[in-house]
Structure 1
Amino acid sequence: MTPASVARVLIDSPLPQLDRLFDYGIPESLRESAVPGVRVRVPLRSAGRVADGFIVEIAPPGDYTGVLSELEEVVSTIPVLTPEVWALARKAADRAAGNANDIVRLAVPGRQVRVEKAYLAASPEPLAALRPPAPIHGYGGGVVETVIAARGRLAIDAVPLVAEVEPGVWVGEWAVTMAASAAATLAGGATAILAVPDYRDQEQLAAALAAILPAERIVRLDARQSNPDRYRAFLRCLSDDPVVIIGNRSVVYAPAANLGLIGIWDDGDPLHSEPLSPYVHARDAALVRQELQGSALIFFGHARSTEVERLVELGWVRSLAPQPAVLPKIVPTAQQSSEDRLAAQARIPSTAWREARAALEFGPVLVQVARPGYAPRLACADCKRNARCMKCEGPLGQKTSRSTPACGWCGALAVDWKCSNCEGERLRFVGSGAGRTAEDLGRAFPGVRIIVADGERPILTVGAEPALVIATRGAEPVAAGGYRAVLLLDGESMIARESLRVAEDCLRWWSNAAALAARRAPIVLVGVGGALASAFVTWRQADFARAELADRRALRFPPAVRVATVTGTIDAVAGAIATLNVEGADILGPVDVEGGGVRTIVRFDYAHGAEIASGLRSEVVRSAANRRRAIGKAPRGPIPVSLRVRLDDVEPFLEQ
C-alpha cells in the first residue's frame, strides 16, 4: 500500500554515506505530530537498530512502490530544525565537501526535557515595545540604516575609541555601532544575528545592547552557557518576534526566519574558525546565509582581513570608513636604549618610557606583550640551546619567577634537568612573558599598581585610576575613559613567527589595543618598522590588506585562490586526486604527514569550487563505504578514516 505522504529524514550520523535524506512512512498515530523540523527516531534496516534524526520535509510518495519503514516515534513536537537552518547547513556543507549533519549538530543544541516542557507550558508574553532607534553616528547621516533596509553588504571600519553606554559602563565604540545597527534592524521588524570571537567581546556587545533595547529582545546563544540555558535561549530564537541574537561563531546558525542583519566583529580572529568538521568559518557561513535569506551583512573591524578585502575589490561588499576620520595618535619608535636602567630591563625605550611616565599622572596605561607566563622559553645557560623536556622533548617554560620550570607539552616538572647537548644543569630565561614584564615594570615604576590580564587571569574592565595593565594580545581589559597611553611591546617577536597571516594578525592585535586608548592618548609601537608599521601609524589598514592580497594573488595563496587538503593513505589520496579534472588547478604533493599517510594540496579558482567540492566529497563517501565493507558490517571499534578532505584549509601555509 502506497503511503499518503512520506517523511524525509536526516539521520544523525557522522558517516558520510548517510549524509542524505531517507524516506520513511508516517504511521497513522503520528500524522499530526510528524511535521518538518521535529526530532524523530527511525529504524535503520541495514544496521538493525534505531537512530535519531530530524524530519526535513513531508513529501508525496513519488513512484516508489515498495514497503517503506515507518517512523518509530516523534521525540519532540517542537520543530527545532527550521527550513532556513537546514538550507544553510546543506549548502555550507556542500561548499566545504562535508556533512550537513555536522553543521546541524552545531546549530541545534541537544534536547533538554525540562526546558522543553516549560517552554510548551508557558503562554507567550508580548515583548516590550521598541523605542525609535538612535541614528548610527560616525558614518554620515543614515548610510548604515539605508544599507540595512536595502539588505546590502558592508565592511565597516570601526571607530577606534571607547564609549560610556551607561554610567560607569565602558565599551569599545565598535560595540555601540553594532548595537545601533541591530536596533535599526529590529525597528524594521526583522531579527539581527551578531557574532563575535569570544566572551570579552560578547560582554561589551551585550552592555551596548542593554543600553538601548529591552532585555527580552536580547538573546545570548553561545558555548559558554550551560546546556539548559543554551537550549532555553535557542527556543526563544524560534519565535516570530524580532530579537537580537548574540554569540560566538556558531550563532550564525541560529534560527531566524525573518533575518534582517548578520553582523560579524573582527572576522580575522582565528576564534571564528570552526575546529570541527566540516570546518566552515563563521564568515563563510554568514556569506552563504546572506545569499539564501537576503539579509543585510556587515563586517565590523579595526583591521580588515584579506578575505573581506577580496570581497570589497570584487564589488560584492561596500567599504565604509568613519566620517570624519578618527585617527589615533601613534608614535613609532625603534628599540632604543632607555634613559632608565630598570626601564631598559623592562624592554621600554626612551620614548615609551617618557609617554608612560607622563600618562600615569592621569590614568591607566596599557602594556601589550606577546606571551603569558614568566619566561615563555628557557635555554641551557652553557650551550644556549633551547631547553627540552627530558621525558617528551617538549619546550620548557616558566609561569612565575618562583615556579619550577615545566614542559609545555606534557606538563612534567624539570626537576634535576640536564641539557641533552652539553650535560649542563643551569637554565637561562629567553624572552619575557606577562609575569616577568609585570615584575620588571614594578621595579621601573615603584608605587604604581600593576595589573596582569591574560588567559589565566581574565579581567574585562579596569577603572580610571593610574595603573600599569600588562595584557597579552587579545586579553586587554577596557579602561574607564580609555587608557592614557598604550605601549605595544614585543612587536619584533610577534612578526618573527613563520605564518601566512602573521602580518594580518599583528596589525589586528595592535589596532584592537590602540582602539582602547582615550582620544589623542599616545600609542607607542616598539621595535617595528617597514610597511606594516607605516600602515599602523597612518591607520590605513585597508591599504595594507589590499597590498597583502595582491602579494597572495601573485603567489596563488589563499584567499586569492581556494585550497583543499586531501589527507589519508597514499592510495586513497592518489585516487581522489585522479578524479579531479579541473583546468588551472595546482596539485602540490603528496608529502608525508605525522601519524602516517600523506597529504596533497589542491589550489583552484573560486569558479571551480562547486566542482572540486563535489568531486572530493564523492571520493570521501566512496572511501568510507569501501572501508566499512572491508572491515565488516559490524566492527567492534571505530572505523579508521582512509581519506579526509578539508576545504579552505590554510594550516599548511601557517607554519613553515
Structure 2
Amino acid sequence: MPGGTVARVLVDSPLPQLDQLFDYSVPERLRASARPGVRVRVPLRTGGRIANGWLVELADESEYGGTLSEVEDIVSEVPLLVPEVWALARAVADRAAGNASDVLRLAIPSRYVRVERSWLSAPGEPGDLPEAPPPVHGAEAGRVEAGIERGERMSLRADPRPLRLPTGEWVGAWAVTLAQAAAHTLAADRSALLVVPDYRDQEQLELVLAASVDPRRVLRTDARQSGGNRYRSFLDATGDEARIIVGNRSTVYAPAPRLGLIALWDDGDSLMNEPLAPGVHPRDAALVRQEQSGAALLFAAHTRSVEVERLVAVGWVHDVAPLKHVRPRVIPTEQQATPEPGSARIPSVAWRQAQEAVREGPVLVQVARPGNAPLLACDRCREPARCTACGGALGVPRSGGQPRCVLCGTSASAWRCPVCDGTKLRAVTVGASRTADELGRAFPRTRVILSDGERPVLRVSAEPALVVATRGAEPIAEGGYRAVLLLDGERMLLRESLRVAEDCLRWWSNAAALAAPGATVHLVGVGGALASALSMWRQPEWAATELEARRALRFPPAVRVASVTAAHASVARAAESVADLDGVDVLGPVPADDDGLERAIVRFDYAAGARVARELRAEMIRVATERRRPIAGRPARRPPVLRVRFDDPEVP
C-alpha cells in the first residue's frame, strides 16, 4: 500500500488460526495516535464483527496484494504493550503451542479509563534510588551482587530462620535476601521483578522493602488489588524509571525498563502453576525472559525444585552456596508414633517438649487438611479408603459413629480394601479444626489459634499459644516458634502424584524454617530418605537423587510432556504427526472424561520441543478450521476440539 501506513495487529482471540499478525491500513484520522503497543479495534471479515487487538508494529507497506481493511478505532493512546513484553509473550506461546493473546491477557490488566486519565495528567514522582544497600543476606559478601551485575542464573538455598527488621516486624530470612538483591539492582538504576506464590510471601517482601527502599520505587501487582490500583501500578511500570515490582506468578510478564533481576521464591509451590491457557509456568517464562533481556535470574527456596536441580545439573543455573550451614533441629519420630492418651495423636517425646515449649512462647502444629472429620485408610496396607458408591474419601463424622463417605454420606460398614482385601480401617489424618479441639482440651489454660484457608492468620505474637495450621497457612511468629510439630506426614505421602515427596519436603521445610534458633522440629510418622533429607537439611541432594530416578523412567523434568485431549480420530492424528520425531514417544490414548474424549501423553526430549510444538499447533489449527456441513433434520454437532497442554502439572 504505497504512501500509506500499515498497522500489524494481533487480534485478541483464543482461536489458534487467528494467532498471527494481520495487516490493516491506518486511516488519516487515526495516524497521529497510532503507535506500537496501543489497544485497537479492527474489523474481521468473517461475520462482519469488530474485534479488539494490539497494534504490534507499523510498516510503510504490506505484502498482501489486495485492499486492506481499515483500523476501526484506537481504544487507548497509551502504549501498554511494550516491545520486550510482546517478544516474551510470543516466545512462551510458541514454546507451549499456545496463543500470544492468551499470554497478553495474563500480562496486561483490564483498562480503567478514569485511572488512565489521572495517570496521564499526573504520572507521579519516581522516587529516589537507594544508596549503598547492605550486602545480600545468606551468601558470601558480594557473590549475589556480582551475579546480578553479570546477568548470571543462580540458585540459592535460603537461610531457614526468621529475622527481625529494624521496624520490629519479623519476616523469613529469605525475604531479606530477595529484597536486598532487588535493592542492589535498583541502586544501579535497573528494574527487578520479584515473583512469589501468594500474598503471605508478598507481604513479607513488602515489609522488608518498605524499610530499605523509597516506597515510590516499589510497585505491587496481584489479584488482591482493586482493578483500578492494579492498572495504575501497571501504567507506572511502563514508564522510564527503574522499579521493583512485587507480585504473584503473572508478575514475570510485567513491563520493567532496563530489567536487571528476575527473582522467584519457591518456584516449586503448586500456587506457581498457571491454570489459564497456555499454562506456562513462571519459571519457564523467567528463563525465556532472562535470555531475551540479559538480566540476572535468581531462584531461592528452602527446598530446591527438581526442575531447578536439572538446570543446575546441566550447568545452566549456578549453585550459590549459603554463607554458613544453618539448619533447624529436626527429629523424625517414625519409631515413636504411638501417641499418649488425650495427646491429639502426638508422640510422647514431642508431647513433653510441646508442653515445655508452650510455656515460653508459641508452638506450631502443622496438619494436612482443614475440617473435623478424620480420614481413613486400610489398617493393613494403608490404601486410602474410598466410597464404593461415588469414590469419595471415607471419614468419621464429628459426632462419632460408623465411618461414612464425606461426599455422599454412604455408610462404610461393609467396606473391604480393593488392594489387600482387609476390612479394618484406621485414621490417617484429622482436620485442623478437630486437632484444635483436641489440643484445647489437652492444654486447658493455653490459647489455641487456628489458621487455614478459610480463617487465615498472618502473624502471632510471642505470647504462649498453640497454633494449628494447615500446610502453607502457617503464620509468622515473633521470635520464631519455640517448637514445631509436623503431623499427618504419612497421610500427606498417600496423595497420588509424581511430586508428592517433593511437595511434602517443601511443606515441612517451610514450616521448620519458622522455628526459633535452637527450637526442636518433630516430624511425626515419617522415616527413610525423605526424613533424612529434612533432618540433615540436604534438600538439594534429595532433589538430585529424585532427578536421577525420574531420568531413568523418562519422567518430567528429565523430559518434557504434552497432554493431547480430543476425540479419538483427532488424538490419533495428532499423535501420528509427532510420533516419528527423534526423542519422542506417545503414551495412550486413554478415556479422558464422560464426553467421549480421549487423552494421549507425548513425551519428548528438550531438543525436540520446538518441533513438537509446531506439529501439535498445526493440528490444533487444522481441527479448528475443519468445515462440517449441518445435516438436514439433525441437530447441529458441537464444534471439534483439540486441547494441548505442555508441561501439564497433572501429568503423570
Same topology, TM > 0.5 = yes
CA distance in 2, matches of 1:527, 1:418: 29
Change (3 A) 1:43 1:407: farther
Single out whichever of 195-204 and 428-437 deviates more from structure 2.
Answer: 428-437
Sequence identity percentage: 58
Which TM-score applies when normalising by structure 2?
0.92
Distance of 1:97 and 1:517 partners within structure 2: 44
The equivalent residue for 1:372 is: 370
Q: TM-score, normalised by structure 1?
A: 0.92
Assess, with a 3 A threshold, how the Cα gap between structure 1 residues 614 and 144 changes in structure 2: closer, same or farther: same
Q: Separation in 2 of the partners of 1:194 and 1:310?
A: 22
1:7 and 1:58 in contact (8 A); partners too: yes
Q: Say whether the 8 Å CA contact 1:389–1:407 is kept in structure 2.
A: no
Structure 1 match to 2:168: 168
Shift of 1:399: 9.2
> 2-side partners of 1:399 and 1:101: how far apart?
48
Structure-1 residue corresponding to 2:620 = 620
Deviations 1:225-283 (A, max 9, x none): 12111111111111111111011111101011311111000000011111011110010
| Residue identity opposite 1:600 in structure 2 | A
Aligned residue for 1:454? 452
Q: Is the 8 A contact 1:372 1:433 kept in 2?
A: yes
Distance, in Å, in 2 between the alignment partners of 1:502 and 1:617 is 31
- The corresponding residue for 2:419 is none
Q: Would you say the 8 A contact 1:37–1:80 is kept in 2?
A: yes
Aligned equivalent of 1:524, options 517, 522, 540:
522
Do 1:3 and 1:26's aligned partners in 2 also have CA atoms closer than 8 Å?
no
Partner in structure 1 of residue 135 of structure 2: 135
Find the residue that maps to 2:290 and give its secondary structure: helix
Tell me which amino acid in the other structure corresponds to 1:587. V
Distance in 2 (CA, whole Å) between partners of 1:474 and 1:339 is: 25
Cα shift readout 1:401-450 (whole Å, capped 9, x = no counterpart): 699999766xx7x5xx655958xxxx997631111111111222221111
Relative to structure 1, the CA distance from residue 207 to residue 638 in structure 2 (aligned partners, 3 Å threshold; closer, same or farther) is farther
Matches within 5 A, 1:143-182: 143-182=143-182
Contact 2:402–2:413, Cα closer than 8 Å, also in 1:
no
Q: 1:614: Cα distance to partner?
A: 0.7
CA-CA distance at 1:600 after TM superposition:
1.0
Deviates more, 1:302-311 or 1:598-607: 598-607
The residue correspondences of 1:363-512 to structure 2 (distance < 5 A) are: 363-377=361-375, 388=387, 394-395=392-393, 414=409, 431-512=429-510
8 A Cα contact 2:129 2:213, kept in partner = no
Q: Which range moved further: 499-508 or 120-129?
A: 120-129
How far does the alpha carbon of each residue in 1:329-350 deviate from its partner, in whole angstroms, 9 at most, with x for none?
111212526684211xx11112
* Alignment of 1:262 onto 2:257: no
Corresponding residue of 2:420: none
Task: State whether residues 583 and 608 of structure 2, in contact with CA within 8 Å, keep that contact through their aligned partners in structure 1.
Answer: no
The corresponding residue for 1:53 is: 53
Counterparts of 1:148 and 1:399, CA distance in 2: 55
In the other structure, the counterpart of 2:355 is 357
Whole-angstrom CA distance in 2 between matches of 1:406 and 1:499 = 25
The alpha carbon displacement at 1:5 in A equals 2.4
Alignment check: 8 A CA contact 1:567 1:600 kept? yes
Residue in structure 1 matched with residue 304 of structure 2 by the alignment:
304
Q: 1:337 to 1:370 in 2, by over 3 A?
A: closer
**Which of residues 577, 580, 591 in structure 2 aligns to 1:579?**
577
SS at match of 1:324: coil
CA distance in structure 1 between the partners assigned to 2:101 and 2:131 by the alignment? 40
SS in 1 for 2:47: coil
Note if contact 1:563-1:602 (Cα within 8 Å) is conserved in structure 2: yes
Instruction: State the distance in 2 between where 1:646 and 1:3 align.
Output: 44
Query: Structure 1 stretch 57-66 or stretch 301-310: which is displaced more?
Result: 57-66
Closer/same/farther in 2, CA of residues 16 and 63 from structure 1, 3 Å limit: closer
**In 2, distance between residues paired with 1:338 and 1:88?**
54
Per-residue deviation at 1:617?
A: 0.5
Query: What is the correspondence of 1:20-419 to structure 2 with a 5 Å cutoff?
Result: 20-336=20-336, 340-343=340-343, 346-377=344-375, 388=387, 394-395=392-393, 414=409
Contact 1:98–1:617 under 8 Å retained in 2:
yes
Q: Which residue of 2 aligns with 1:601?
A: 601
CA apart distance, 1:630: 4.7
- Counterpart AA for 2:200: R
Paired residue secondary structure (1:566): strand
Alpha-carbon distance in 1 for matches of 2:406, 2:23: 51
SS of the equivalent of 1:518 reads strand
What's the CA shift for 1:4? Answer: 2.3
* Structure 1 contact 558–650 (Cα < 8 Å) conserved: no
Which of 568, 571, 574 aligns to 1:570? It is 568
Matched residue type, 2:518: R
User: What are the superposed Cα offsets for residues 311-366 of structure 1, whole Å, 9 maximum, x if unpaired?
Assistant: 001111011131211121111212526684211xx111122112211211211111
What do the CA deviations read for 1:24-77 (whole angstroms, capped 9, x no partner)?
A: 001111111000000011011122111111100112314433211111111110
Q: What's the CA shift for 1:375?
A: 1.2
Helix, strand or coil: the match of 1:361?
coil
Q: Secondary structure at the match of 1:144?
A: helix
Distance 2:74 2:133 in 1: 43
Q: Would the aligned equivalents of 1:43 and 1:51 in 2 still touch at CA under 8 Å?
A: yes
Contact 2:550–2:558 (8 Å) recurs in 1: yes
Distance 1:629 1:471 in 2: 55
- In structure 1, how many angstroms separate the alpha carbons of the residues matched to 2:404 and 2:119? 50
CA 1:293–1:631 in structure 2 vs 1: closer, same or farther (change >3 Å)? farther
Offset from partner CA, 1:186-235 (integer Å, 9 cap, x none): 01111100110011111111111111111111111011212111111111
Using the alignment, how far apart are the partners of 1:338 and 1:315 within structure 2? Answer: 46
- Contact in 2 for aligned 1:375/1:430 (Cα 8 Å): no
Alpha-carbon distance in 2 for matches of 1:498, 1:63: 54
Aligned-residue CA RMSD in angstroms?
A: 2.7
Within 1, Cα distance between the matches of 2:433 and 2:548? 39
**C-alpha displacement at 1:459, in angstroms?**
0.4
Distance 2:440 2:169 in 1: 28
Contact 2:125 2:216 in 1 (8 A): no
Against the structure 1 CA distance between its residues 22 and 494, is the aligned structure 2 distance closer, same or farther, given a 3 Å change threshold? same
* CA contact 2:139–2:321 (8 Å) conserved in 1: yes
Q: Which runs of 5+ in 1 are unaligned?
A: none
Give the 3 Å change call, closer, same or farther, for CA 534–206 of structure 1 in structure 2. Answer: same
Residues 129 and 406 of structure 1, relative CA distance in 2, 3 Å threshold: farther
Cα distance in structure 2, aligned partners of 1:529 and 1:430? 16
The one-letter code of the counterpart of 2:501 is A
- Could you tell me whether the CA contact under 8 Å between 2:115 and 2:228 is conserved in 1? yes
Provide the rounded CA distance (Å) in 2 between the counterparts of 1:256 and 1:403: 59
**For 1:116-162, what per-residue CA distance to the aligned partner results, in whole angstroms no more than 9, with x for missing partners?**
11111115424234232111133111100000011111001000000
Distance verdict in 2 for CA 1:499–1:428, change over 3 Å:
closer
- The answer to whether the 8 A contact 2:156-2:299 is kept is yes
Hey, what's the Cα distance between the residues in 1 that align with 2:405 and 2:640? 32
Residues 477-498 of structure 1: CA deviation (Å, up to 9, x unaligned) = 0000000111111111111222
Letter in 2 for 1:270: S
Once residues 179 and 274 of structure 2 are traced to their aligned partners in structure 1, the CA distance between those partners, rounded to angstroms, is 25
Q: Would you say the 8 A contact 2:126–2:216 is kept in 1?
A: no
Distance 1:275 1:459 in 2: 26
- 2:556 matched residue in structure 1: 558
Q: How many residues align?
A: 636
Does structure 1 retain, via aligned residues, the 8 Å contact 2:482–2:515?
A: yes
Q: Letter of the 1:576 partner, please give it.
A: A
**Per-residue CA distance 1:154-173 (angstroms, 9 max, x = gap):** 00100000011143311100
Name the stretch that deviates more: 578-587 or 448-457. 578-587
